[in-house]
Amino acid sequence: MTDLIEAPFGYTDGDVDTNRSTAVTLNELADQRYSRRTLLRGSSAIVAATVGGSLLAACDDKNFGSDTAPTVSAGSAVTTTAGKMVTLTGTATDDKQIASVAWTQIAGPQVTLATPATNAASFLAPAVAAPTEFRFRFAAVDSRGQTSSADATVTVAPAALDFTAVAKNKLDVVTVPTGYTVTVINRTGDPIAANVPAYKNDGTDTNFAQRIGDHGDALYWYGLSTDGAARDANSSARGLLVQNHENINQQYLHVGGATSTGGVRPEAEAQKEIDCHGVSITEASEGAGRAWSVKQDSTYNRRITPATVMAFNGPARGSALLRTAYSPTGVAGRGTINNCANGTTPWGTAITCEENWAGYFRRSGDTANRTAKELTALSRYGVTSGTGSYGWSTVVASDSANTLFRRWDARAGTGTATDDFRNEPNQFGWIVEIDPYAPSSTPRKRTALGRLGHEGCWPGAFVVGKKPAWYMGDDSRREYIYKFVSATAWVAADANAADRLAMGDKYLDAGTLYVAKFAADGTGSWLPLVFGQNGIDGNNATYAFADHADVLVNARLAADVVGATPMDRPEWTAVNPVTGEIYVTLTNNSESGRPLNGTDAANPRHYNDPKGAAQSAQYGNPNGHVIRMKEADTEATSFTWDIYAFGAGADLDKTNINLSSLDDSNDFSSPDGMAFARATHAGGQVKPMMWLQTDDSAYTDVTNCMMLAAQPGSVGDGGARSITNTGSNGATATQATRVGAAPGANLRRFLVGPIECEITGVDSTPDGRTLFVGIQHPGENGSPAAPSSHWPDSQAGGTVAATVRPRSAVVVITKNDGGVVGL
C-alpha cells in the first residue's frame, strides 16, 4: 500500500486519488436516484420500472453529466360527451433518447385507458349526469432516468345524439351517417351447421333446418365467455345472436316461385317454407379490425322451427283446449311461428312472441261440428280462412304418419279433439321462453301471459322484493296493451341461476295478466283478467268462460269483457331503463278501424295522408304514434300516460296532424320496432337513447323504411291539447288528447333501409360499440325473374346482376372511431 502524502498544495504525483472535489461518486449518484421518491410520486408502475432500468444503464453512459429533463406536453384541454372515444396525445422531447412514456389518471371517475404506455392513450367517455372533469398525467423518462410530466383535462358532458341525420331516400342499400361502417351477417339461407353448403340463392337450396331463416325480425345479444364455455352477460366480443324469423318471401325460395297441382302443394316446397319460420341462434364474434363473423359450426348454433318440440307451462297446461291428435293430454306442442317482437329475462333466456299465426290455418266448412262457443273464439282470433296462407295443409306427405302438414288443417271432424287438429290454433299465440345457452333444451310456452297476436314482451325494472312485470302488445287494429305481473317477488341471485328455464318456471308460470284502459285525463288502469272477476265467468253472454285456462286461451275475449281501450295496432314494447316508463308503438289504423267519430284521447287522430303522384287518399291514422305510460312500480294497477311522438310527414299540418312538429330530419310513418339502449353503457344511462324502427306503406312514396335514434323526455313533459280531425266527406270532429314535448333534435333519422324492406330488430353489445339491426323482406314485391331489390349484394356497390335475389339479413354497425353507436 502506498502511504498518502499530504502535499503542500493538495496534490502529489502518486497512484492515489488526490481530487478533493465535493462531487459525488457514480455509485453514490446511482444510490440517490434509486431513492428519488419525487420521481415515482404520481407516476405509474410502468414509469417506475423503466426508471429503475435506466439508472443502471446510466452508469455506462459516457455523456452522463450533460443530461437535462425531457420537455413534455399533454395536449390541449378537451371537451366531449359521454359515449365518445377520447384520445389523449402527449409529446416528449429530450437531448437524449426517451426511454418510456406513460399516461395515468389522477382525478375524476375511474376509466380504463387503452395503450397507456404510448404517446396516444384513449378511453371511452363514461356516462355522467352533469359536466364532469377528468385529469390525466403524461410522464416521460429519458435514458438517464430524468423525468418530466404534464397534465391534461378532459371535461365530459352528458350523452347526446351526435350524428348528421340521414336523408330520406329510396336507395337499395342501408344508409347510415358519415363516420359509421355497415357489414352484413346472417343472411337468409346462410349455413349454421358444419358441412352445410353455401347458399346458392337460386331457389334450389334445401335444409333450412340448418340455415338462417327468412324475414329476420327481433334480435338480442347474449354474451359468452372468452373461451365460449359459459354465459358472460357482459361480453361484447363473443356471444349468441338470437333472432326471430317472422314470415317468408315465398317467391324467392323456389326456382320459379311457389307451385301447386290441383290445389295441392308439393311436400318439398312446403317443408322449406315451414322451416324458414321460427328462431335462429348463432355464435358471433369480433375479430381483428372490428370485423364480425359467425361461427358456422358452433355447438350453440340452433334453428327452432315450427316442428321443434315444445312444452306448455302455466295455468293452461293440460287444458282440454290444447288437446290434439299430437298431444292428447294438452301438455306438449310442436314449434313456434310468425315470431315477431321479443323480450328477455335477467337470468339469460330469450323470449319470442307468436304474432299473426291465425292465417296459416285451414278452416272452413266445419260449422256443423263446432259449438257456438268455439265459433265465437275462432272468429275473435281470425281463424277463418279457406286453405291457409300457404296451403301447407294440402300437402300429401310421403310418410302417412307425418302430421306436420295435416296439423295446419284446423277443421273439426266428427270425432273428438284428439282425433284431429281443431285445437291446433290454440297451441299458438303464446310467449315462448328459450335458453340460448342450452341447445338441447326444450322451449316452454308460458300460458300465464295469455294467448294473443303477441308483439313484444319487454320486462320492467327488476327490484328486489318487488314482483317483476312484462309489457305486451297485441298486433292487430283495435287490439289491446297488456302486462303480466309475476306472483313471485324478485330475488337478485336468480339472475345467475344455472338452471335458467327453472327461473322461468318460478317467475313466469304464475301471476296476473292485466289489460290497459286509458282515460281522457291522462290516467289509466290495469284491469285484471281473472276468472270469476268483472264478468269474466260462465254467465257471460258473449262467451261463457269455463275456467282460468279458458280466460288465458281466449284473452282477447276477456279483455273485451272488462272494457279495455282498443288501440291503433299495438306492436313493440320498450321500457326506459332509468325512469321505468313503458313505451308502445301503435303502428297505424285504417279509416274503418279509427273512423272520424271513433277516436279517443289515446288514439286521437283521423286524417288523410295523400300518397304518391296520384295523391291517393289514406284516411284513418296511417302514420301511427308512440304512446308511453308511467307507473309507481311494476306492481301498480294505475298509470299516467301521454303520446311521445306522432308519426307524420314533415309537410302535414302541425296543428292537427303533425302534432310532434317533425321536420325532414326526423319525420316518420308507422312505428314498429323499438328498444332502449342497454343500461351497461353511456347510451342507456342518465337520459337513455331509444331506437325507433318503421314498417311502412303509407310513406314509401317518399322514402324507404328507416330507424331513428331518440332521447325521450318523460310522461307529462308536454300537455293537454285539442285537435280537429277531418273525414273523407269533409266533416270535422274535435278530440282532446295528451301530447308530449316536441322531440326536436332529440329525435333524428339514423338509418334508411333498402327497397321494400322493413327495419325490425335492434340490439347492441353491452359496451354499445356494436349495433345489430334486422333488415326484413327487401324486394318483397318482386318476382324470381325480376327482383325489385338486390340487397344485400347491392350493399357493396358496383354492378349487381339483374337476377340476383334479395335476402333478409342482419347488419352490423360500428362507429369508425370506436365510440358508442349513436352518440
Q: What is the pLDDT of residues 247-275, one digit of tens each?
A: 999 999 999 999 999 999 999 999 999 99
474, amino acid identity: D
Mean pLDDT of the chain: 93
- Has residue 657 got a pLDDT over 50? yes
What does the pLDDT average to over 318-342?
A: 98
What does the pLDDT average to over 732-737?
A: 98
The pLDDT of residue 96 is 87
Strand 431-434: give its sheet, edge to edge.
332-334, 309-313, 444-446, 431-434, 350-354, 339-344
CA distance 159 to 162: 9
Whether the predicted model's global pTM rises above the 0.85 cut = yes
Report whether 761 contacts 813 (CB < 8 A).
no
β-pairing verdict for 706-710 and 619-620: unpaired
- H-run or E-run covering 310: strand 309-313
Decide: helix, strand or coil at residue 597. helix
- Residue 386 — very low, low, confident or very high, per pLDDT cuts 50/70/90? confident
Q: Where are the beta strands (DSSP E) in 480-612?
A: 481-486, 511-518, 523-528, 567-568, 570-575, 582-586, 607-608
The pLDDT of residue 404 is 97
Tens of pLDDT along 626-653?
999 999 999 999 999 999 999 999 999 9
CB within 8 A of 45, min separation 6: which ones? Answer: none
The pLDDT of residue 582 is 98
- Residue 238 — very low, low, confident or very high, per pLDDT cuts 50/70/90? very high
**What are φ and ψ of residue 807, in 5° steps?**
-145, 140
The pLDDT of residue 63 is 44
Report whether 411 contacts 385 (CB < 8 A).
no
β-pairing verdict for 523-528 and 469-474: unpaired
The pLDDT of residue 256 is 97
- Has residue 50 got a pLDDT over 70? no
Peptide bond into 671 cis (omega under 30): no
The pLDDT of residue 66 is 56
Report whether 541 contacts 514 (CB < 8 A).
no
